[in-house]
Structure 1
Amino acid sequence: MRLSSIGFGAWAAGGGGWAFSWGPQDDADSIAAIHRALDLGVNWIDTAAVYGLGHSEEIVGRALKSTSHKPYVFTKCAMVWDSKGDITNSLRQIRREVEESLRRLQVETIDLYQIHWPKPDEEIEEGWSVMADLKREGKVRWIGVSNFSVAQMERALKIAPIASLQPPYSMINRNVEPEILPFCLQHGIGVINYSPMHSGLLTGAMTKERVQALPADDFRRRAKNYQEPQLTRNLQIAEFLKTIAARHNVSAGVVAIAWTLHNPAVTAAIVGGRSAKQVEGVAPALHFRLTEAEYAEIGAFLDAHPAPI
């Protein structure tokens, strides 16, 4: 697959009222955001069954039915829920899950099917074997993993190739740099990183006041990097990014995305959007790239402002 350098992330399209939501979301806004992203050159959409307990996939399906664009469609499995909405991790229901995702997305084949989390760890081999079967059967075109460690990817590779890894990666969360990204580069595993703007912290639009005003069911209210002392430091990074962004007439968020794309292991970045306007604000990331000097400038700032312990 030849991917545009950013893809549309449909997590927020799941709406509110579930454990990992971004708060309430208007479905019409989500569909408009997807359509705008496709019009501007984004050629892939990433969602997951668990986002909104199926609702995000349904919204993606509706958006696809009302556009002439034919983007790649990626989704994820292995987070399941019961009638009460309680979510558990299971790698033993993938065959049922893929049928439900195909129905909600209204597609005949999923372009990239990913294991959302490697949990329970002891079920990885069983789950990955089913994923390989689904690829052979033509239910899915490619199979990938999300949030896997190097050791877990090595176990999966003994069964079937891994097309891609989806890890969190931003200048606030660099945990994948020492081992995971080099491993992917060495083994020809594509990387589509999520949260390149760290869930909005690096957009340049986040403030302490906005954090305080987040809806009660927005997962970010409980996230470590949205609390002090991390919050002050993270907002300082965003302010610094604005100085580089201003030179190119782009947003701080576009610079944050470009920073992740600068790593040779990263194929493309997942970027969410809750409205057409938001999408337009990050669309320059399709083409904007940092110079080596600017990358070094950001690196020096991050070194001088380490994360609080």
Structure 2
Amino acid sequence: MQTRRFGRTEMQITPIGLGAWAIGGGNWSSGWGPQDDKASIETIQRALDLGINWIDTAAVYGLGRSERVVGQAIKGRQRPYIFTKCSLVWDEQRNIGNSLKADSIRREVEESLRRLDIDVIDLYQIHWPNPDPDIEEGWSTLAELKKEGKVRHIGVSNFNVEQLRRAEKIAPVETLQPPYSLLNRSIEQEILPYCQQHDIGVIVYSPMASGLLTGRMTPERVAQMPEDDWRKHAEQFQEPRLSRNLQLASLLGEIGKAHQVSAGVVALAWTLHNPAVTAAIAGARQPYQIEELAPALDFSLSESEIRQIEQFIAEHP
């Protein structure tokens, strides 16, 4: 199985990892609607069977539910790398807030270890750089947790270059997790070049634009989404963008058809074509979904196919 060196860490990770956001289910502000835990466990175990060697989750996904399910799924299995995140906290009324205070992060890491039922977290990430004035306190705390052996490696998510520089003054930023897809290319100008220059490993999230570029999304499916699926009212899932996005997905499907792979695999391969990207997070809620995406473990696009995609983007801004 092909692996890639993950930035400054000693980890060798597969080009795609399993994203566990959606298996947190619904009933929280960024939920994906109802989800069956049994299906989630089967999906995780199928991903491991296919050779994927890392799982990305977060405490806030399902307000602890995703981490608990991941912990159940890996029990008794050869342990994959486990990546999770801190800084988004919630109260008894399920209201979500931000904290980068040391005492909060120390409480969060203990709760994540308990839910995941593991002794050490392979990569612990600050989920969002909020509140901005507390970045230094939060990052200093992660550096301390690494020294104490609670976590093996530390990284950040959703940071800009200025915030990365601030963190680097305290301790090396080993990894970054930003959003990146054909529908969201904002990191190309500054963030990816900075990461490449400083050997910061990059794992991108939402490479298939939260399902829009999988080839399975339709206007009817969007209309039928439950109210607790955050995508139902997201701008990219509304007209006029929806029709254009589904046109792009159709093109990816045509390119994939020649290789007997899905549009989702092509969308993943497009992000992996960027030399600054180490790997991409592939979200899945059912075993068949990760089976469909598994060819992305060793699939790449030709330069002519990349140009074909870029031409579409240029003609349909």
Assess same fold via TM > 0.5.
Answer: yes
**Structure-1 residue corresponding to 2:90:** 81
Tell me, what secondary structure is at the counterpart of 2:83? strand
By how many angstroms is 1:69 displaced? 2.1
Tell me, what secondary structure is at the counterpart of 2:216? coil
Asked if residue 193 in structure 1 is aligned to residue 204 in structure 2, the reply is yes
AA aligned to 1:4 is T
Tell me, what secondary structure is at the counterpart of 1:184? helix
**Structure-1 residue corresponding to 2:293:** 282
Picking from 250, 260, 264, the partner of 2:261 is 250
Asked if residue 295 in structure 1 is aligned to residue 310 in structure 2, the reply is no
Alpha-carbon separation, structure 2, partners of 1:254 and 1:48: 24
**Structure-2 residue corresponding to 1:90:** 99
By how many angstroms is 1:242 displaced? 1.1
Tell me, what secondary structure is at the counterpart of 1:199? helix
Q: Could you report, residue by residue, the CA deviation over 1:37-73 in whole angstroms, capped at 9, with x for unpaired residues?
A: 000010000000000100000000000114x221000
AA aligned to 1:206 is M
**Structure-1 residue corresponding to 2:7:** none
Asked if residue 55 in structure 1 is aligned to residue 65 in structure 2, the reply is yes
Q: Percent identity?
A: 64
Segments of structure 2 that go 5 or more residues without pairing to the other structure are 1-10
**Poorly superposed stretches of 4+, deviation over 6 Å:** none
AA aligned to 1:223 is A
Alpha-carbon separation, structure 1, partners of 2:201 and 2:179: 14
AA aligned to 2:150 is K
AA aligned to 1:87 is I
Alpha-carbon separation, structure 1, partners of 2:88 and 2:233: 20
Aligned residues: 305
Alpha-carbon separation, structure 2, partners of 1:119 and 1:222: 24
Tell me, what secondary structure is at the counterpart of 1:143? strand
Question: Residues 101-250 of structure 1 correspond to what in structure 2 (within 5 A)?
Answer: 101-250=112-261
By how many angstroms is 1:297 displaced? 1.3
Alpha-carbon separation, structure 2, partners of 1:111 and 1:60: 14
Asked if residue 30 in structure 1 is aligned to residue 40 in structure 2, the reply is yes
By how many angstroms is 1:292 displaced? 1.3
Alpha-carbon separation, structure 1, partners of 2:131 and 2:240: 33
By how many angstroms is 1:224 displaced? 1.1
Alpha-carbon separation, structure 2, partners of 1:51 and 1:287: 29
Picking from 264, 268, 292, the partner of 2:279 is 268
Tell me, what secondary structure is at the counterpart of 1:111? strand
Tell me, what secondary structure is at the counterpart of 2:255? helix
Tell me, what secondary structure is at the counterpart of 1:214? coil
Alpha-carbon separation, structure 1, partners of 2:193 and 2:107: 34
AA aligned to 1:33 is T
**Structure-1 residue corresponding to 2:53:** 43
**Structure-2 residue corresponding to 1:71:** 80
AA aligned to 2:128 is W
TM-score between both structures, scaled by the size of structure 2 = 0.95
Alpha-carbon separation, structure 1, partners of 2:49 and 2:225: 30
TM-score between both structures, scaled by the size of structure 1 = 0.98
Alpha-carbon separation, structure 1, partners of 2:281 and 2:41: 17
Alpha-carbon separation, structure 2, partners of 1:32 and 1:279: 10
Q: CA RMSD in A?
A: 0.6
Segments of structure 1 that go 5 or more residues without pairing to the other structure are none
